[in-house]
Structure 1
Amino acid sequence: MKAIGIALAAALLLGATGAAHSQAYPYKPLRIIIPFGAGGAQDIVARSFNVELANALGQPVIVDNRPGAGGVVGTVAAAKSTPDGYTLLLAGVSHQINGFLYAKPPYNPLQDFTPLSYVGSTGYVLLVPAALPVKSVAELIRHAKSRPGELNYASAGVGSAIHLSMAYLASLAGIDMLHVPLKSGADVLIELIAARTQATTVPINVARPYAQEQRLRMLAVTGPRRSKFLPHLPTVAESGIPGYEFESWLGLLGPAGMPRNAVERIDSEMARLLQSPAILERLNRQGVESATLTSAQFAERLGKEQSRWADIVKRSGVKLN
């Protein structure tokens, strides 16, 4: 009788477990890992839609900041999580960059993840101090070529997006500029306003408040097309460096092997939310231009961009241990 009781209890337990997994997705809270600290761009973007996503899914959606190693700590945590649809990652361009920066890559940007929802993109603005005698990208190139190795550009650290965007620009333009790595984007602006550095790029949402700053001059945007936020600025490509394009993206990923029903649910709900005027306004404040891509189209975009990011990192000459 005792053996029968144990067998019956085991059967009931297995049945309960199976029933839980057969419930419609989602049946418990979700979390979105942000691989950077609170208050940063990705954190703000995640919080611009997590409440509405929770309402749509009928479960809480928790924003979980996991900063460290330029985004690697949180990204690896997401990659190693159970692929059941309850742990997501709001990734950005560093997701792909980090796959090429390290001698031993900590993860594979494509194979270790499931693309879910493309949120949007944001470009950068090429800035110089007003004291520098240049008013266009072409003039900056001529000025730098006449003074090889004398001009410098600042970034928020070795391997940062700002660093790579400027190293890529210098490589395509054939100019020799010294890289000055600083601790943060705020430090970069301080040095630029003081004219102690001669050029940099900053995200569009960071640059916009400085549009009327008399000590800075905006030369161009780095994206493939003019920005709706600063439409008067040309692109770097149309200003003298054909083929130049540097744009960050934001999107939701999950670990590899997520169930199809979870992928489709996140994809469809996010597509609907990204039509919301309230959410679009929040994204606009962060300089994010949204676009409607299915999860399959998002995956295709990431795949196509891999070789370009590999080339950009290679041109920078950066390789981290």
Structure 2
Amino acid sequence: MSTDLSRRRALAGLAASAALPASLVSAPALAQAWPSKPIRMVVPTPPGSSVDVAARLVAERLREKLGGATVLVENKPGAGGTIAAADVARSAPDGHSLFVGFNGPLATAEHVFPKLPYKPLEAFAPVIATVSQPHVLVVNANDPAKTLGEFVARVKAAPGKANYASVGNASASHLTMELFKSAAGLYIVHIPYNGGPAATQGLIAGDVDALFTAYVNVQGPVAAGRLRVLALAEKQRSPRIPQVPTFAELGLPQVDAPLWNAIVAPAGTPADIVGRLNQAIDTVLAEPAIRDKLAGGGMEVIGGKPEVLARMMRDESAKWLPVTRRLGIKPD
């Protein structure tokens, strides 16, 4: 009798499962089988950029943390990171497509791209905030301006003749320069480049006069005496470049624009897959060897739960909305 009763209960359980919506049955099974194919980490900047460097360090160790899974880094630069972001936003929410983004495409792009094909706060499931980076204003080492004050005076003496590079429309480098221009009363022409390396080369070549960028993008040329750092766009000095003053110290506290990188998945990705990704990546970021390599590139680990990143994205979006409206920033 007990055997018959067990068999009847088992059959009843199967019948109940069959009656459930497919989404409720498939999600746990999907998570258990994950990853079942290569994981794409889509990077919105060219190889060699700060975002790319951090992504490749994580990808290399993530393979081992996920039991030998294939993790591929795919570079898709352009449009301030929104091309890559849109790619991942429309991908299947199965944990096999990740976007390695930054402030722009994850929080501020919708304020400057009127036809953006995704809404950052709705299109993604936050996975983890990875690193922060010193955000600096740099000029060519041959520029006669040795300080921020001298640079401001030089630009004001010839309005409209100076220009600046950005790493792309709607990027942090674009928005921060516009914020600086507004705070200091400057007129400088915008010349967008396709990523940090190209913008840096343009500055080294003398094609542009200034650039806001992550310090990791310029630390080599700065050390070689080809570029000069004028100021840091954050509230406090960075331990990586303690000699560089902040804009607040130099009388422009409005110019506060810290940089951060993060990893997100398409909205709807099962919570347990997001949790496994978060735990694995957080473990990678905690490794001393990884921290040392990131620090060597001028990056500090953030880490933490998905909720930390979700809050960062909300706060960043709210912070820049009134700024972009006031400045009337639109894609060139």
TM-score (norm 2): 0.80
Matched residues in 2 for 1:100 and 1:265: separation? 32
101, 108, 111: which one aligns with 1:91: 101
Partner of 2:246: 235
Partner of 1:54: 63
Identity %: 29
Matched residue count: 310
Assess, with a 3 A threshold, how the Cα gap between structure 1 residues 194 and 20 changes in structure 2: closer, same or farther.
Answer: closer
Query: Is it true that 1:125 corresponds to 2:131 in the alignment?
Result: no
How large is the Cα RMSD of the aligned pairs? 3.1
Assess, with a 3 A threshold, how the Cα gap between structure 1 residues 153 and 52 changes in structure 2: closer, same or farther.
Answer: closer
User: Mind listing any 5+ residue stretches in structure 1 that lack a counterpart?
Assistant: 1-10
Query: Is it true that 1:35 corresponds to 2:44 in the alignment?
Result: yes
User: Mind listing any 5+ residue stretches in structure 2 that lack a counterpart?
Assistant: 1-14, 19-24
84, 102, 105: which one aligns with 2:116: 105
Assess, with a 3 A threshold, how the Cα gap between structure 1 residues 23 and 232 changes in structure 2: closer, same or farther.
Answer: closer
Partner of 1:24: 32
Partner of 2:83: 73
Which of 33-42 and 117-126 deviates more? Answer: 33-42
Partner of 2:308: 297
**CA shift at 1:176, angstroms?**
2.0
Q: How does 1:180-219 map to 2 (within 5 A)?
A: 180-182=191-193, 185-186=196-197, 188-193=199-204, 195=206, 197-219=208-230
Assess, with a 3 A threshold, how the Cα gap between structure 1 residues 197 and 299 changes in structure 2: closer, same or farther.
Answer: same
Deviation track 1:171-198 (CA, whole Å, cap 9, x = no partner) reads 1222222334456645544554455543
SS at match of 2:159: coil
SS at match of 1:230: coil
TM-score (norm 1): 0.83
Q: How does 1:142-153 map to 2 (within 5 A)?
A: 142-153=153-164
Matched residues in 2 for 1:253 and 1:186: separation? 24
**CA shift at 1:221, angstroms?**
1.8
Which of 176-185 and 82-91 deviates more? Answer: 176-185
Instruction: Say whether the 8 Å CA contact 1:116–1:267 is kept in structure 2.
Output: yes
